[in-house]
Structure 1
């Protein structure tokens, strides 16, 4: 009994506290699923020639469009407000799906971002424009891509490839819907998205602690 209490104090209690404080803005007990089981990436290649996958990763997925440099302010907002705060989490990654033909612009942007942050967990993946459109459409979201196959919104994809956001009645009984987070708005990233990412990360930390506890 005493051992159980000690284990709870050492492992579970800090996570419970973390979830409590992380959910100061997010009024859902658990971040809802907006789109279940999103498709895994095809054999699209990253800037470094890798095959990047979503499975078993907590992914911030973006569609910056063909004008990558034109929208670089959004990338810097995302870097400062989200990526830099979470990049040390082993299973966290940032993935931007970009139309083929934008490789030169992307290399230039990555060079600029690299001056401020470690880009190891940030991937730019290239695909034909029509495939990007089909992939995005499969999410069945309210927001749409523009004619450059881009959107200022980014999306949280969990390890089971579910798109997470705010959907349905929150703990106050109020209806909410938020499928993505606007990278043009530093406030949206700093408040809603930062909080929601913390909640998803905390879910997996808590699950990991429970699994470790069972092994003891």
Structure 2
């Protein structure tokens, strides 16, 4: 019989146990199934700045608004609960939209957040009022921009589609377009879970594609 050594216990706790939890969660009702597309083909971020794009990336989009200091608590929540969780994931980016003319405010919040994390995947992008409104409107979200700010953040997939939920018990008509960054519980229980679902969806699609290639050989 295999002895239960300290080394084997540590290996189990570090690698095997998390995998078991992962497999259990993958059978859950809201976990590791395809995440619904709630709006197709949203306006691409390249319309604000040609350097950036949603295509080929997993993006979380937030709107800083005209008074970012008054609302900065939510951005710190977003950084702590979501960004730090996924910073190591391939092609992940955090898109922060701010109005032109508010460069100093954007620079300040970026400086404050950078005291706690590596900002390599935070992208701060300026836009005119019209560009910001057009981008947000393309999401077809039920929330509204107030001073070009909203507490909702949005999950965009690699194809440029908005992902969310269509049977969310806390949302009107069951549709969840965005996640409230002022709510730590919502970031933990919904957004983090949904980003994991999306990455797992990419993984299974990649695995199936490679399997089909191998089967044809």
Does the 8 Å CA contact 1:15/1:202 hold for their aligned counterparts? no
Structure 2: distance between partners of 1:19 and 1:38: 33
1:198 alignment counterpart: 196
Instruction: Select the structure of larger CA radius of gyration.
Output: 2
Question: How far apart are 1:124 and its partner, in Å?
Answer: 0.9
Question: How far apart are 1:161 and its partner, in Å?
Answer: 0.7
Question: How far apart are 1:139 and its partner, in Å?
Answer: 2.0
1:154 and 2:158 correspond: no
Structure 1: distance between partners of 2:195 and 2:77: 15
**What TM-score comes out, normalization by structure 2 length?**
0.80
Question: How far apart are 1:42 and its partner, in Å?
Answer: 3.7
Structure 1: distance between partners of 2:127 and 2:100: 5
Give the aligned length.
Answer: 194
Structure 1: distance between partners of 2:139 and 2:124: 20
Gaps of 5+ in 1: 1-13
Gaps of 5+ in 2: 1-17
Does the 8 Å CA contact 1:23/1:199 hold for their aligned counterparts? no
1:123 alignment counterpart: 123
1:186 alignment counterpart: 184
Structure 2: distance between partners of 1:177 and 1:28: 18
- What is the CA RMSD across the aligned residues, in angstroms? 2.6
The structure with the largest strand share of the pair is 1
Listed as ranges, the matches of 1:15-54 within 5 Å are: 18=22, 21=25, 24=28, 26=30, 29-45=33-49, 51-54=51-54
User: Which one scores higher on RCO, CA 8 angstroms, separation ≥ 6?
Assistant: 1
Question: How far apart are 1:17 and its partner, in Å?
Answer: 7.4
- Per-residue CA shift, 1:87-110, capped at 9, x if unaligned? 101111110111111110111111
Q: Residue 22 and residue 105 in structure 1: after superposition, are their counterparts in 2 closer, same or farther (change >3 A)?
A: farther
Q: Residue 100 and residue 191 in structure 1: after superposition, are their counterparts in 2 closer, same or farther (change >3 A)?
A: same
Question: How far apart are 1:71 and its partner, in Å?
Answer: 1.5
Structure 2: distance between partners of 1:191 and 1:80: 14
2:76 alignment counterpart: 76
Structure 1: distance between partners of 2:66 and 2:23: 38
Does the 8 Å CA contact 1:66/1:99 hold for their aligned counterparts? yes
